[in-house]
Amino acid sequence: MSHLFHIFHIFRKDLRRYWPYILALSCLTAVQAALYGRLHLDFAGFTTGSDRARHILESALGFGWPFLAAVVIYEDSLPGSTQDWLFRPIGWRKLLAAKCLFVLIAVVLPNIIADACSVALLGLDPFEYLPGLLARHALRVAGLLLPVLAVATLTTGIPQGVVAIVAIVAVQGILSTLVESSSDLMGGFEWLRFMSFYAVVAVFCLAIVIRQYATRLTTQHRPALALGCILVFFVPTRFPASVAGLAQRALAPQASSPVRVEFDSIRTGPMAGAIPSPIFRGTNVVYLPIRFDGMPAGLQARVHRVTVELQTPEGQRWASTPTRPVYQGQDGTGSWLAVHLPKEFFERHGSERIRGSARLAVALYSASTPATVIAGSPPVRISGIGLCGATPGARHAARTIFAWCAQPFQQPRHLVMTVTPAGAPVPGVVRSTGSTNLFNPLPADFDFDPISVARVIFAPADSEYTFDAGVLPAGSKLDGAKVTITQLTPVSLADVTLVIPDIVLRDHSI
């Protein structure tokens, strides 16, 4: 009984001291939650006053809540030997339990309530997304609060803590510029890198906090934290693709399928509608036509994590890298692999006959029942996705359709959107959203926004804005256009080898 008495006594003491700060942060968080009730206006791509205010609040609260967690640690600091709690005495377990209780009640709980209110204000049921709500805040504790608490236990006050955090951020920034990632986890595999990073950070920081409370060996734990900050940087940058593949196949609902990928020699020329992208400057894009054989009925195939190797007649080799990725494209004739080649290689060997091979991770998907939204009409709720809508004329005042889906706590995954202009006799252009969460079992992403949005732009060929847009026929009527939305669910994953026969690169380039 005395254990609980001491824990609640310390908790009440901290609560009485910091309740004005808690109240102020809670009020700001409530205002932020209320602004999310207007998010369906901002999804259309407009920059509104509420949008700007929301970003300001996100920055303020992103600093304010961790600051509160650190301050309550400093209230009974650990470095030194003259603290009041040492002379009473109060056991370190009681003190740690009281601080954890304060963080959960005064820091985490108000944010959970605010996020639930944000979901409700959008017209969605918070209880439907309860697993995602809890997973989101577990990730925030692991990736944000625990590192701040670890620093707070090793420093004597706010000035020293701020210096330590700035130093950690600076070291991470320097490492990111000096060390190039050797991980080739492209497509839907990125979540493995980041989740492994958060897991390592959480375990390491939790160990620092517990050890520091138990032993108060500050001079030993400070170098350990500094070394750990350097080592954890290499978790996402050196994550082996072989481990990722094993993890993904273990999480897949079905065993690997017999799907095969073949080079489609019947098709030549670049993908229809392909335009040069300013993202990869200094490259020429070569489109390799592919087809999928052995496809089970009712499933669709998508390519993730492609590595391509080409060889010239003289034996010179070129291989894709994580900084020169390969993408899958699709038009009315089939699928393509978009390979970004350096201009020097293309200009020297573009007219020669090149052969090569590619390694592809091919995921098979089942499709949900299509749902329909009408451009210009109010957003609708789609089960399993969230809130979806389509807004005409929402990009630089150009003639476009901005189709979007908003989902609480995680990016909407694997959406296929088909636009049929008003009065058109046949379906129009198909575009899809990517996902970094292939077979991710967690129902939440690490994001400051509780609502994540997937957006796709469609525009008529005569519009002022066609870059990165699904191009509709010129003169298409946008108001009242029908947008059909289908969500794909991954069911299996297979590693496939593609043999690239003798080709002339210029025949397949823009």
Summarised one tens digit per residue, pLDDT across range 8-29 is 888 998 899 999 999 999 999 9
442-473: per-residue pLDDT in tens?
888 877 778 888 888 877 777 766 666 677 77
Percent of the chain with pLDDT over 90: 15
11-25, 241-255, 259-273, 363-377: which has the highest mean pLDDT? Answer: 11-25
What's the pLDDT at 46?
42
> Which residue's entry shows tokens 């129009």?
428
What's the pLDDT at 16?
92
Q: What band does 392 get if pLDDT is binned at 50, 70 and 90?
A: confident
Mean pLDDT of 174-182: 69
Residues in the chain: 510
Percent of the chain with pLDDT over 70: 82
136-145: per-residue pLDDT in tens?
999 999 988 9
Could you give phi then psi for residue 37, rounded to 5 degrees?
-65, -20
Q: What is the mean pLDDT of the chain?
A: 80
What's the pLDDT at 441?
80
Show me where the domains of the chain are located: 2-239, 260-366+493-508, 371-488
- Considering only 43-57, 69-83, 193-207, 294-308, which range has the smallest mean pLDDT? 43-57
3-state secondary structure of 503: strand
Picking from 160, 201, 166, the residue whose alpha carbon sits closest to that of residue 77 is 160
What's the pLDDT at 60?
87
Q: Can you give 427-483 as a three-state secondary structure string?
A: CCCEEECCCCCCCCCCCCCCCCCCEEEEEEEEEECCCCCCCCCEEECCCCCCCCCEE
471-507: per-residue pLDDT in tens?
777 777 778 888 888 888 888 888 888 898 888 888 8
> What does the alpha-carbon distance between residue 504 and residue 506 come to, in Å, rounded to a whole number?
6
Strand partners, 471: 459
Q: What band does 323 get if pLDDT is binned at 50, 70 and 90?
A: very low
> What does the alpha-carbon distance between residue 269 and residue 381 come to, in Å, rounded to a whole number?
41
**pLDDT above 60 for 331:** no
84-119: per-residue pLDDT in tens?
655 566 788 888 999 999 999 999 999 999 999 988
* Beta-carbon-side half-sphere exposure of residue 361 (alpha carbons within 13 Å): 21
Q: What band does 210 get if pLDDT is binned at 50, 70 and 90?
A: very high
> Which residue's entry shows tokens 């999804």?
43
What's the pLDDT at 419?
84
What's the pLDDT at 45?
45
